[in-house]
Structure 1
Amino acid sequence: MTTRPPQAFTDAQRMELRSYVELAGEAIAQFWPMRTFIHHNPLHGLETLSFEQAVARGTELFGACGYLSNDTYRRYFRQGRIREEDVRTALHPMAGDKRVTFGSLEVSHQDVLAASLIHGISDPTTSKPSHTPDGDPEAPSRIEAWLASALGNQVVGTPPALAPWPSSDLPRRETLGAWCDRTLGTSIVETLNRELVKWASAFLDEGEVSWSMPEREQTFYRAWKTLARHDLTLRLLGISEAPAKIQALPHRPEEALLQSLMQLGIPKSAWEEYLARHLSAMPGWSGYIKWRAHQSDHPWQEQFPIDLVKYLAVRLFYERELVDQACRSQLGLAGNTGDIAAYIDHHPHAYWFRREWIAGRLSSDAAAIGKNLAASDRRHDHTQWEEAGRRQYEAVLNEHQARAIRRGADRLLRLAQALSVPLESVVTTAPSDARTILQWLEDFPPSHHGAVWLEAFEGSHRHQLLSELQTAAQQPPSTPSLGEGDSGSRPLAQVVFCIDVRSEVFRRHLEDRGGYETLGLAGFFGVPLYYQPFNAHHTVTHCPVLLKPKNHVRELPRSYHGVLAERHKTAAQLAEAAHTLLHDLKENVVTPYVMVEALGWFFSLPFFGKTLLPRWYHAIGRWLREMLTPAMATTLTVDKLSREEAEEMVAAEQRGQIREILRARFGLSGPTLSPTLLESIRRNALGQADPTGSEVAALLSLTTENEQALYRDLREHQRISPRGVSERLDRITQTGFSVSEQTYFVEAALRLMGLTSNFSRMVIFCAHGSTSQNNPYESALDCGACGGNQGLPNARAIAAMANHPAVRAQLLARGITIPGDTHFLAAQHDTTTDRVRIVDLEDVPATHRKDLQRLLTDLDEAGTQASLERNRALGQVAAPSDSRRSRLLAQRRSEDWSEVRPEWGLSRNSAMIIGRRALTQPVDLRGRAFLHSYDHRQDASGKLLEAIMTAPLVVAQWINMEHYFSTVDNEVYGSSSKVYHNVVGRIGVMTGVWSDLRIGLPAQTVLNGGEPYHEPMRLLAIIEAPPARIRAIVDRHPLLEQLFRLRWVTLVALDPQDNRFYHYDPSGEWRGGDTNDARVHTASHEGN
């Protein structure tokens, strides 16, 4: 392909192309960087389709499996995890009413489908019968002979087609690169992926590499265009005149992409589908680029822009060149859709022969013919290829009938065994009935079994869970319901946990201690904020990723820790300097050779310590840190400063800056640097005082020119200027919350939980986080509601707000009375070790010390029992007497840098229950349910339930789908084994030295020894509220209607009026019972 002059395109054409790319990108889910790992549905872009359609589309685009293997489901069936009645219920919509006689037994369509599903009659992976029920080894042969006679030429089954689809559909079915790979045996798609990984990983790096990619500020496409001309790989790939071709590419990426689409001959009607297939070739990199392109305020995106158009412009340049090269070399035609389609139409047998040969589906003799043709100078002789293909195709057709008879006989034999039909009676089946049975089996191939198995699996789980809840609902509650007790029945403490499934285990064991009431709320506790830890340079977002906080909170030492705070600052500065020095030495060209000899022994200490003695190593490390920087009590800047306080704070900071400059530049100190002098200099720099500044000049012995130079330096470099003051004031006024804001957040949290009365003496907001070493997926184990961070800052913030006297006064005016002896505390649950740490104990009143001591004891005991339960799930501890060992094992897992599974995380999640704790308290939910507290009696308008259903419920569905798809196909939707992971660019991980960005959960999170630990099923949402109220909320929100009607989530209502469960089916009706029976719930009551 020769270079062509750039073609002129209009703004309208460029905008139109961008719209096509936007549509193509909808099939790709956004991928957040791993430092804030966000659980997401990998098929999120396909949620406008039904679940079954989306799974099929995912298989088409990504080559992924959407269900567990049929063998796995059959094992669940044998174990009793799936009931036969649920299998038949799942088959009911597809089974007809017709019945036939099979041997001596009358069977229905459903009977045959159920037998096929349960016994794998049509599944080629199922082992063939090793014996016959009658002990007759000749029975299979007799059945085969009888079937051949009965069916004659009317064989059940479709003969192989010459082409998988019409040539006109080619660009909608596969890219031209993929077509060449499957027809010509090239590896173009792999080459495209390798090249794009090379360029994208270098461009998207966020500080991991020492020598960053040059020219990145030009954007991805232009940086590649500048640098790729010098890339020798292009010559090795066989792209002729590569530098000239790249130089001739348009300056705009849209025009380069348009040019490539036209040279490939892709019709506009196929653009969306064609580009979607290119993006789905590497959904990890595409998903991350899609995410970053939407983050306009992301500093790396601002500095180094990239989007899907720029990515595709580069990718399709490689494809058009490599496809043209391959087609000209092996077919003697140009690499475009028109020429390829003509080849398919004019030489169909040659086309079939090539694809079958490349796929390895031909006999050894036929494969040798293909090899000889491809290796000789006749490789362009389509006539010879066509003739060879015709002969082979006719042989396959002739074999088809015999193969179909053998397959049919085998299926009937298996069916007879499954239904206990005597073999001698099978041959008495009427030919029409035999043909009907075989057609039923043919129309229900193993590839269609997964959806039915999933439906039955979910039905069995739903039946079990609803039965347990129904039984529990008939029992009297062990603790008073919220708002129903009197002053004599106050709980010992009320502990608010995150809705995370791991919290359910701890809540259950804490309640077993007696006298405690636990509640569930999203782990950021309804307070979105930016958090800046003490000595940290940057803020961290602590809220769900779809929210943008408005308020900043800083961690500061308590006032009595002034000296200790300076010690911490000094230690942090020294540590940062040492880290920078070490990094610079390691990345220098020369110094690593010296460092290995001089410091290698030093680095061996942590290596052996972390590997062989992790608990001792970390214990020594904690002791050293305590010696160097003792623990220091801190507080958060929850209260917002007034305007006057903020202005004085800025003035004090600026006077401090001026003092340091005068010390360094003029050697002044002591009484000379009086507050009056510093303020005078500050006001002069701001232009608010006498510009002559004679007093300042005299005190500093400065000429007028030098004095003005000082002021300029303060304005330009220290930002002591009106604009600098304004910007600083803006930042300060965003720090903390006003009283009205605090009241709003506290009231919202309390009302969402239904906690508006009967407060205990202590209310604890218990956040959660995880502890692990050497774990790129650490943020996936922390709180998703806090943006993949630990939730303690949010807990501290809302506890401080709830203790504020002015906030309580405003709450009182709004109908929420918090007793004067109620104190709110913050705590954090470590989900790896099951230890709970309560903070800000300095603020606990002396009157509560005894209560606090009992709480600490009970939290520790609950943690021991929870740890024992989790260790049993990990297969490490079995006996209840092993509680001490259980604690030690959990601690070791949190500190061992070789540990690939510190905990199971959110695996096995299957349900979200929204309602009062009385509904679930008697039930052992086995850490499988998200629990969100909600009292329907306090929410007549439904606004509180609407907030829960449109936020936490949606996030729970993301988590559920992430685990579902990572389990059913861990290689495609998950991230495979952690053992082979390498961190790339500080944004994610790759498998080995190059791969797609791994987008899902690792095998160690969802699999156990290669078998599923997580049980993949769609989320079951159970809501305790009047069905009419729930229906009204669903009708108002298209997203919820989409999730429920398209079967991404199963919705069940517990009607408080009659204490019965009702299912929301895809038609939008409520149906009673634990299956989809015919009783329609028509009540429109709202309950009392």
Structure 2
Amino acid sequence: MEKVETAPYNETRRMQLRGLVRLSSEIIAHYWPMRTFIHHNPLHHLESLDFKEALKQGQQLLGGEGYLSNRIFREYFRTGRILPENVNAVLKPLAQDKYVTLGNRQITHFEVLRAHLLNEISPPAAETLEAFLKNSPDRLSLEALTEQLGVFLKPPSIQERIETSANEDRTGLGHRFTLASWCDRSLGTQILDQINGELIKWCEAFLDEGHATWPMPGREKGFYGAWKFLAGQEWSPCGIGDGRQKLARLPAHPEDALLESLTVLGIPSEAWQDYLSLHLAALPGWAGFIKWRADQAEYEWQQVYPADLVQYLAVRLWYEREWVAKTSREEMGIAGEHPAISSYLKRHPYVCFLRQERVAGDLPPRYAQQVDGLLYGWSARRIEAWEALAKGYAAECGPQHDRRARLSAAWRLMALAKTLEVDPAILSNSGSEDLRILLDWLNAFPESQHGPRWLEAFEVGYQEQLFKKLMPNVRKFKEAVSEQAQPSGVRPQAQAVFCIDVRSEPFRRHLERVGNYETLGFAGFFIVFIRYCAFGSHRETEQFPVVMKAKNVVREIPRTYQGQVLSRYRAGAQLVHAGHALLHDLKENVVTPYVMVESLGWFYSLPILGKTVFPIGYRKWTAWLRRRFAPPIATTLTVDKLSKNEVEEMLVSEERAIIRRALRERLGRHGAHISPERVEELRQRALNEDLAVGPVSPRDATRVSSLLESEEEEAAFVEELCRRYRINQRWASARMERITRTGFTLSEQAFTVETALRMMGLTRNFARLVLLCGHGSTSENNPFEAALDCGACGGNQGQANARVLAAFANKQQVRDLLEKNGLCIPQDTYFIAGQIDTTTDEVQLFDLEDVPPTHRKDILRLSHDLQEAGTHNSQERCLLFPEVKTLPPISKAARYVRRRSLDWSQVRPEWGLSGNASFIIASRRLTQGVHLAGRAFLHSYDYCEDPTGRLLEIIMTGPQVVGQWINMEHYFSTVDTNVYGSGSKIYHNVVGRLGIMYGPQSDLRSGLAWQTVMSGERPFHEPMRLLTLIEAPRECIDMIIGRHHVLQHYYDNHWVHLVALEGETFYRYLPEQKWVPLQVDILLS
């Protein structure tokens, strides 16, 4: 390629390009780090399109299937999972009031559609069909029908196919496929794989978050800058001629480099958005992670090592332009640019067609050899030779192609006749017009269009069964509103608030059977928006849905009486940390692993044996050992916001500690040898260098002079305090802001408690105990363990949120404020925080030190009943595992699920949220006692407590959005586990502490594993769109939908089914705020 001289681009062009890249990236979804796995819709940014159209775009750009295979749907029909009446209902809108006559029978359009949907009528491949014909008992009938179809069936000739192929390539170049992919498809190159391989290599190295032993140097330059520098050090970058010189000439700005590449490739400006989308869709995992990271301005890795999609595309398109130029020049003798390739297609369609057929393997062997001869030979008549070969191919193979097309049509008609129980011999005696109509009907409803109809029938079947289950409760409580106005005289034994997670539904059901418990469902973050820093951790986790933001920070700290135990804990924790660090260094060293195998290899046999053979006993032993080294610490949370004076005192204390550390590190003297006055003097001088340094006391004069021998050294030390240790006004303000974000004011606490209680409908008849139960999970050797935690808590465990809300609600000052707002909590009501382990069904209660003596017996009874409910839930869950064939006893069930959680070879510790299908926003009376099989998100809500609809609006735009993301994650991971899912766990390879690859090198796998959604070859998760059922007036729902585009996209574009329960009638939502009543009574009859 010739040297490119490009004028510098101005900032306006760069801003326009950034905006274009943002639009282009709509095809890919964000990819969150695996430590906080976030369930998401992989086509989230296409929700402004109709569901079917979005699936088409996803298939075109990402290559993913949008529906289960027709084979699986037909299996569902044969087993009764999809009912005949549901199939009939979804086909009737398609059927025309027409028929054809075969013999003495009239075949309606509806019958043909139904037969085509329920049976495999598509013909096998051409070669298989010919073999089938030779051995078929219907050979003579097929031959006769094939000849008869020749009267009217005229498939396109090869000449027409050549012209059509060339025209489609010209119009699609730059819009439907890149220049690199066109070269791969037409010339047999592997440019796309080469580009992907290079980008994976550089992304893996640059985006690493501490996993690599030798980190990539120069990452502070940004992704583009680091790549440009390091790639330029290679001897011959990817075999590109003059590669080092070309890299050196690249612009400093990634925007300029990307604009330059688009110009060099000759991509028309109107195709830029499509073209960039194609490149982003080539590696949606890595591109999705970069997209997410670029949007996280406060993310520590992004702040230090910036990356964005403009930089990513600048690198990617540089490789493409160089390799396409080289290939085009060598293979076609033209420039590697859009206009040249388009012109070549127009001038030489025969060459392109034959080469594409050769690459696809569709040419007969003789013609394949001749094409190879032309490829590797050269003569002045090369183009003429290609055209002559194409004409010979058309003359010889054209009739064969026509015959196969007619044979294929005959096979389809024969299969249809057998399905309709019509004698196939009748087809040969039927008129050509009737046969043509039958073929037109089949062609108008191809296999590719069956998926949407199957899905509708699949969903309707589930929905009807759900409404049947709920209808008795609707009738039973039809007077519930008037009855609720009367205060109930019976207090529940306790009220337990669980997350809306589908795994809570069976546990709630079992707990209600154990005793007089009232259970409620609420988003697992309990509307507590916090950034949480656990004790012993230096990283804050975002404990709220990712669609929201928070500024308040809560820290877990030891309780005041834990001084002696805390010292033991810290000493043990330091020892354990040092041991881990030493072992890590020994393992990662170049030499020591050879010695370790011989000297320490035996040591690893103990954990291997324990984890494999005795997982429960081994876990108990390691827990005991850990307690010996680092005893557990009783902790509390910093839920109260500090006063201004307290903040200033904390800030001063932090700065003094930093100065003492600096004295120890830089001057080798322990800070205790310096008087507090001198430390304060250094602090003040660092904060304001203009401040005069006060006189040094005689007691410290000798000591100070030995530390800082001259004023110049002291000035240098102060300068280092300012810059390296950040003792300056700017960082003081930043620390002040961080400290002031800790905790909540009293009014914020009262507002949070009131909002939570009103949203869940808990405003009267409080029990003595109210359990706020978050959830988490326990598993071994599971990179995606966070996928089993709480989605509403940002992919983290929910205990922190439960503890914070309980602490708020137990404060008398908070209750006093609530009473002024008409929400009275009895004095004897106590809120207790807990967390259920969804893998083992065990519930842990927190902050038991704060429980008053009057409630200790209540706590003991609650603990016992939670344990009993958990064992029953474990027994129910056991039958869902494919290895369990019979219902185990209660005791064995609890031990079995615990063993699964500790087994490091277990690829499926639990089913997680697989099976989710509905989101019910209603009071518990609607679902109480109903076995929902762990398939429903249950969010408590009482519309009588929400006259303005404000609380319902929060639920619909917050928790429901999280539920829809979970639903779509499972949907797409099931319908195409290799594209939208992450494939089998067997091949997972953790990379960069941020995600997994498939094997040693691949795109980041973003979805759920095959073992999470599949049971054998059949899906365990039934992929269907979420059904949201809301018990509220339709008028209120309409107003909320009208205020939010996200809800309009969900319901009007068919991403979510919406049904309202008003009175005793279910109403289905149709686009543009139309409602139709559902005849549930007919279903019950």
Return the alpha-carbon distance in structure 1 between the equivalents of residues 540 and 887 of structure 2: 43
Q: Corresponding residue for 2:403? A: 402
Match of 1:970 in 2: 977
Aligned to 1:195: 198
In the alignment, the residues of structure 2 paired with residue 1069 and residue 330 of structure 1 have an alpha-carbon distance, to the nearest angstrom, of 59
Q: Distance in 1 between the 2:607 and 2:389 partners?
A: 66
Deviation at 1:98, TM superposition (A): 2.0
- Cα separation, 2, equivalents of 1:732 and 1:277: 46
Q: Using a 3 Å threshold, how does the CA distance of structure 1 residues 423 and 683 change in structure 2: closer, same or farther?
A: closer
Moved more, 1047-1056 or 241-250: 241-250
Residue 187 of structure 2 aligns with which residue?
A: 184
Contact preservation (8 Å) 2:573, 2:629: no
How many residues are paired up?
1069
Could you tell me how far 1:626 is from its partner in structure 2?
2.0
1:575 deviates by 2.3
The structure-2 alpha-carbon separation of the partners of 1:478 and 1:93, relative to structure 1 and needing over 3 Å to count, comes to closer
Q: Matches of 1:977 and 1:478 in 2, distance apart? A: 51
Q: Deviations over 1:497-550 (max 9, x none)?
A: 111111112111111113111111111100011111112222222111222221
CA distance 1:517–1:354, change in 2 (3 Å): same
- Whether contact under 8 Å (1:151, 1:431) holds in the other structure is no
* Residues 1:794 and 1:355: Cα distance change in structure 2 (over 3 Å): same
Query: What CA distance in whole angstroms lies between the structure 1 residues aligned with 2:608 and 2:971?
Result: 36
CA shift digits 1:544-596 (9 cap, x unpaired): 12222211111111222111112112222222233333333333333333333
2:739 pairs with 1:732: yes
Q: Write the deviation string for residues 32-74 of structure 1: whole angstroms up to 9, x where unpaired.
A: 1111111111111211111101111111101111111100000
Over aligned residues, Cα RMSD in angstroms? 3.3
- Aligned mates of 1:697, 1:112 — CA distance in 2: 106
Tell me the TM-score normalized by structure 2: 0.93
Q: Which amino acid aligns with 1:531?
A: Y
Residue 35 of structure 1 corresponds to 35
CA distance in 2, matches of 1:901, 1:741: 41
Per the alignment, residue 56 of structure 2 pairs with 56
Q: 1:60 to 1:677 in 2, by over 3 A?
A: closer
Q: How far 1:746 moved relative to its partner?
A: 0.6
1:1069 and 1:718 map into 2 onto residues whose CA distance is 63
| CA gap 1:427/1:916 in 2 versus in 1, 3 angstroms | same
Decide whether the 8 Å contact of 1:529 with 1:552 is kept in 2: yes
Q: Secondary structure at the match of 2:211?
A: coil
- 2:110 equivalent to 1:103: no
Map of 1:401-480 to 2, 5 A cutoff? 401-475=402-476
User: 1:570 is matched by which residue type in structure 2?
Assistant: A
Q: Any conservation in 2 of the 1:680–1:696 contact (CA below 8 Å)?
A: no
Residue in structure 2 matched with residue 1085 of structure 1 by the alignment = none
1:797-808 matches, cutoff 5 A? 797-808=804-815
Distance 2:473 2:102 in 1: 46
After superposing the two structures, state which structure 1 stretch, 403-412 or 316-325, moved more: 403-412
* 8 Å Cα contact 1:466-1:1074 kept in structure 2: no
- Secondary structure of residue in 2 paired with 1:97: coil
- Return closer, same or farther for 1:325/1:729 CA change in 2, 3 Å cut-off: closer
Q: 1:853 to 1:483 in 2, by over 3 A?
A: farther
Q: 2:271 — aligned with what?
A: 270
Structure 1 residue 738: Cα displacement: 0.9
Per-residue deviation, residues 892-949 of structure 1 (Å, max 9, x unmatched): 2211222111111111111111101111112211111111111011111111111111
Instruction: Determine helix, strand or coil for the equivalent of 1:81.
Output: coil
Q: Aligned residue for 1:815?
A: 822
Q: Separation in 1 of the partners of 2:306 and 2:663?
A: 42
- Cα separation, 2, equivalents of 1:337 and 1:662: 64
The range that moved more, 528-537 or 1043-1052, is 528-537
Structure 2: give runs of 5+ residues left out of the alignment. Answer: none
- 1:1049 and 2:1052 correspond: no
**TM-score normalized by the length of structure 1:** 0.92
Residue in 1 aligned with 2:1070? 1065
Cα distance in 2 for residues equivalent to 1:843 and 1:479: 37
Q: Residues of 1 paired with 2:563 and 2:654: CA distance?
A: 17
**Secondary structure in 1 matching 2:843:** strand
The residue that corresponds to 2:262 in the other structure is 261
- The CA deviation at 1:828 is 0.4
The Cα shift of 1:152 comes to: 0.8
The answer (yes or no) to whether the contact 1:156–1:438 under 8 Å persists in 2 is no
What is aligned with 1:141? 140
In 2, Cα distance between the equivalents of 1:462 and 1:366? Answer: 56
Pair 1:152 & 2:151 matched: yes
Please state whether the residue corresponding to 2:646 is helix, strand or coil: helix
The 1:946–1:4 alpha-carbon spacing in structure 2 relative to 1, beyond 3 Å, is same
Partner Cα distance (1:406, 1:413) in 2: 10
For 2:445 and 2:1081, the matched residues in 1 are separated by: 22
Cα pair 2:32 2:38 within 8 Å, conserved: yes
Does 2:219 match 1:219? no
Q: 1:139 to 1:724 in 2, by over 3 A?
A: closer
Partner Cα separation in structure 1 for residue 352 and residue 240 of structure 2: 26
Render the CA deviation track for 1:59-96: whole Å, top value 9, x for unaligned. Answer: 11011111111000000011111122222222233322
**Is residue 91–residue 114 contact of structure 1 (8 Å, CA) maintained in 2?**
yes
Equivalent runs, 1:757-796 vs 2, <5 Å: 757-796=764-803
Report the 3-state secondary structure (helix = DSSP H, G, I; strand = E; otherwise coil) of the residue aligned with 1:474. helix
1:781 positional shift: 0.8
Q: Are 1:931 and 2:938 matched, yes or no?
A: yes
Aligned residue in 1 for 2:508: 507
| Deviation digits for residues 580-638 of structure 1 (CA, Å, limit 9, x no counterpart) | 33333333333333333333332332233223332222111011112223332211111
Equivalent-residue separation in structure 1 for 2:1054 and 2:659 (angstroms): 65
Query: How many Å separate the matches in 1 of 2:655 and 2:13?
Result: 54
Structure 2 counterpart SS, 1:286 = helix
How far apart, in 1, do the equivalents of 2:911 and 2:482 lie? 32
User: SS state of the match for residue 938, structure 2?
Assistant: strand
Do 1:121 and 1:415's aligned partners in 2 also have CA atoms closer than 8 Å?
A: yes
Contact 1:966 1:1000 in 2 (8 A): yes
Question: CA 1:844 to 1:72, structure 2 compared with 1: closer, same or farther past 3 Å?
Answer: same
Partner of 2:172: 169
Tell me the equivalent position of 2:1037: 1030
Letter of the 1:826 partner, please give it.
A
Measure how far apart 1:819 and its partner are. 0.5
1:353–1:694 distance in 2 versus 1, CA, 3 Å: closer
Q: In the alignment, is the contact (CA less than 8 A) between 1:479 and 1:517 conserved in 2?
A: no
Distance (Å, rounded) in 2 between the aligned partners of 1:188 and 1:1014 = 37
Which residue number corresponds to residue 996 of structure 1?
1003
Residue range with higher mean Cα deviation, 982-991 or 575-584: 575-584
- 2:499 equivalent in structure 1: 498
SS across alignment from 1:873: coil
Match of 1:348 in 2: 349
Q: C-alpha separation between the residues in 1 aligned to 2:277 and 2:668? A: 65
Q: Please say which of residues 587-596 and 653-662 is displaced more in the overlay.
A: 653-662
**Residues 239-318 of structure 1 aligned to structure 2 (within 5 Å):** 239-318=240-319
The yes-or-no answer on 1:825 pairing with 2:802 is no
Any idea what SS the aligned residue of 1:625 has? helix
Q: How many Å separate the matches in 2 of 1:546 and 1:305?
A: 23
Matches within 5 A, 1:120-135: 120-122=120-122, 124=124
Per-residue deviation, 1:885: 1.8
Quote how far apart the aligned CAs of 1:829 are.
0.5
How far apart are the structure 2 equivalents of 1:608 and 1:680? 59
Residues 581, 483 of structure 1: CA spacing in aligned structure 2 closer, same or farther, 3 A cutoff?
farther
Instruction: Report the equivalent of 1:612.
Output: 613
Helix, strand or coil for the counterpart of 1:471? helix
> For each residue in 1:323-374, what CA deviation from the matched residue of structure 2 results, as whole angstroms up to 9, or x when unmatched?
1222222222222222222222222222221111111122222222222222
Q: Matched residues in 2 for 1:514 and 1:29: separation?
A: 45
Amino acid at match of 2:1078: G
1:1068/1:232 Cα in 2 relative to 1: closer, same or farther (>3 Å)?
A: farther
In structure 2, the partner of 1:209 is 212
**Residues 1:1006 and 1:395: Cα distance change in structure 2 (over 3 Å):** farther
The answer on 1:867 being equivalent to 2:882 is: no
Note closer, same or farther for the CA distance 1:593–1:484 as it changes in structure 2 (3 Å cut).
farther
CA distance in 2, matches of 1:59, 1:457: 22
Partner of 1:16: 16
Distance (whole Å) between structure 2 residues aligned to residue 996 and residue 661 of structure 1: 44
Cα distance in structure 2, aligned partners of 1:1026 and 1:264: 57
CA distance in 2, matches of 1:715, 1:691: 17
